[in-house]
Structure 1
Amino acid sequence: MVLLDMNGTFLFGGDRFGPNQDYASTYRALGGSRLATDVVQTIIQTCFDTLEVIYNDPTRSDSFPQVVDTLRALPAARGVPPADLALLERVIAQHELGRVPDDYAVSLQKLARSHVLGVIANLLSRKDPWLQEFYRAGVLDLFAVTVFPRMVPASSHRGSSSTKQSVRWGSRAPM
């Protein structure tokens, strides 16, 4: 099996976080209108900064929080309606998500003819946007397994490696 990481291997343009990002435009593009630009910018950047510290702390690998739980805990997000929290969660996913270029999709299709493929990636967000991108690019069914270790809520971790993975078995038989 050839096990691939996503970002920088076949998925590019993701992890668009930082003070120069226009999170409010993404929020509005997703249908948000209630929150002021500065509120959106502050909440998203603070959430990302909080998650980045946890993500880079090896002692927290068994207690990684869901994005929406982190958003709810932020003082700047107190009083934000649940519908807007859900939109802010999607903003983070949109800024984390990259794209599979067509030529990389073709290369993956060629590689899948001779090798069983798997993908592993740590994500801050829920995996659905990545699976949708894989589907859009025509590569979703090329992977015998997709593993997103940080996708299990912190409350579900019990120290077992089996609880640390969110696995999707593809159409190919795993090896």
Structure 2
Amino acid sequence: MTSTERFIDQFDVILLDLMDTLMFGGNRFSNEQAYAQTYRKLGGTYHSDSEVQWVIQQVYDTMNEHYADPAYHENFRPASTYLAETLDSLGLPQTDAARLHTVFAHHELGHIPDSHCHALRQLAKTHRLGLVSNLWSEKALFVRAFRQCHIHHLFDTLVFSSEHSIVKPSPKLFQKALDRFNAPPHRILFVGDSPERDMAGAEALGLGTLLVTGGNETTYPGHTAVDICQLTNQV
């Protein structure tokens, strides 16, 4: 790399993580969250407040336990499946399961700052872009968020784990994106916020990696972590 070449100019393709890389303020799950209030706002009337609170929290707790267990990295089913099983285990009908899933998705959803949308538009001028995300719910709300921010068209592919029952750091999820690009692994850069899931999984396939943070500089195998908005001028 020459003194005037940016770090990203070593690569033809940039793959990005979603949560805490592009999207922030998501994953709002706790016993204090007003899931029932979200359910009512979405027009839900079938379940009581206590049922909604219990079901959503149970789904999250079970998924969170499995997410931490490597045995589930290649068998991590989407929230809709866990939700159906939870309703069955509680003796509740599936009558409003779709709306309950939407409640879960709304609490997983975050926002994409305008500054990050601008950074993506700049990156798309020089690189092909893709996304590899550990998403627990189905993708509809997240794709809509991308469209509303006018960034959906910038990506050659969007790989969401909920469509494949595979989560990072399994290399198999990264491979779903690699299959869409005709580029050798060393010409592909993965940008994410998790050393354990993003860096480790990408490096297992020989990809370049860059750790991003919310502006707090740190280091990871040879790189300084930067905010994604700095990528376009990072040397």
Instruction: Report percent identity of matched pairs.
Output: 34
SS, match of residue 93 in structure 2? coil
Deviation at 1:112, TM superposition (A): 0.9
Q: What is the aligned partner in structure 1 of residue 92 from structure 2?
A: 79
Residue correspondences, number: 165
Query: How do 1:73-152 residues align onto structure 2 when only pairs under 5 Å count?
Result: 73-74=85-86, 77-82=90-95, 84-152=96-164
Q: What is the aligned partner in structure 2 of residue 16 from structure 1?
A: 28
**1:85-118 deviation per Cα after TM superposition (whole angstroms, max 9, x unaligned):** 1111111111001111222111111111112111
Task: Please give the TM-score of this superposition, normalised by the length of structure 1.
Answer: 0.83
1:64 aligns with 2:76: yes
- Cα RMSD between the aligned structures? 2.5
Q: What is the aligned partner in structure 2 of residue 157 from structure 1?
A: none
Query: How do 1:45-56 residues align onto structure 2 when only pairs under 5 Å count?
Result: 45-56=57-68
Q: Runs ≥4 in structure 1, deviation > 6 angstroms?
A: none
Give the letter aligned to residue 79 of structure 1: L
Give the letter aligned to residue 118 of structure 2: V
Task: Please give the TM-score of this superposition, normalised by the length of structure 2.
Answer: 0.63
Alpha-carbon distance in structure 1 between the residues aligned to 2:89 and 2:146: 34
Alpha-carbon distance in structure 2 between the residues aligned to 1:43 and 1:174: 44
1:7 aligns with 2:19: yes
User: Relative to 1, partners in 2 of residues 1:137 and 1:61: Cα closer, same or farther, differing over 3 Å?
Assistant: same
Alpha-carbon distance in structure 2 between the residues aligned to 1:86 and 1:105: 30
CA contact (8 A) 1:93 1:125 kept: yes
CA contact (8 A) 1:39 1:76 kept: no
CA contact (8 A) 1:71 1:77 kept: no
CA contact (8 A) 2:138 2:162 kept: no
Give the letter aligned to residue 17 of structure 2: D
Give the letter aligned to residue 14 of structure 1: G
CA contact (8 A) 2:34 2:53 kept: yes
Q: Comparing both structures, which one devotes a greater share of its residues to helix?
A: 1
Alpha-carbon distance in structure 1 between the residues aligned to 2:85 and 2:177: 24
Give the letter aligned to residue 21 of structure 1: Q
Alpha-carbon distance in structure 2 between the residues aligned to 1:166 and 1:123: 15
**1:50-101 deviation per Cα after TM superposition (whole angstroms, max 9, x unaligned):** 011112211112211232221222256422342x111111111110011112
**Rg larger in structure:** 2
